[in-house]
Amino acid sequence: MWTLAYSTQWPRDVKHYEKKHSRELAAVLRNLGQRYVPMLNASPNARAVQAGFLHHEPEGVVAIDQKGGGVGLQETRLYTFADDSTQTLWLITVGNKDDQPDDIQFSRKFVESLKAESENENKAQ
């Protein structure tokens, strides 16, 4: 079973989205909890999971969008990283289409730091 973990950016983004874009936040969280996590639990690895609401980004980042959440929603992406070795799904950041380049860059750097941290831990053992 996959467990969730959060970047330090995640709580700030959720707080902002709860106030300004609550319907969009609800849609991406529904896609996360009701669709993506069950698919991860049923798959041999995270890379095997494919769906129309998922967008694969560099460094293994997967963006979950608002599709299926109703009409008139602003395009929104919830950026995640699934670590198969620990079965941890990291929730990194959430943003709209205007924020996408910065969100992808932030997510890539976050994943790079996770991978570097993991390598350092493996070397220490």
Indicate if the pLDDT at residue 120 is higher than 90.
Answer: no
Task: Please tell me the predicted confidence (pLDDT) of residue 118.
Answer: 80
Task: Please tell me the predicted confidence (pLDDT) of residue 125.
Answer: 63
CB atoms near residue 44 (< 10 Å): 8
Task: List, in order of start, the domains of the chain with CATH numbers.
Answer: 3-98 (3.30.2310.20)
In contact, 76 and 95? CB cutoff 8 Å:
yes
Q: What percent of the chain has pLDDT over 90?
A: 90
pTM attached to this predicted model: 0.94
Q: 79 pLDDT band (50/70/90 cuts)?
A: very high
Residue 79 and residue 10: Cα distance in Å, rounded?
A: 10
Section 51-74 average pLDDT: 95
Task: Please tell me the predicted confidence (pLDDT) of residue 74.
Answer: 95
Return the structure tokens found at 94. 């959430």
In contact, 77 and 102? CB cutoff 8 Å:
no
For 101-116, write each residue's pLDDT tens digit. Answer: 999 999 999 999 999 9
In contact, 81 and 57? CB cutoff 8 Å:
no
In contact, 114 and 122? CB cutoff 8 Å:
no
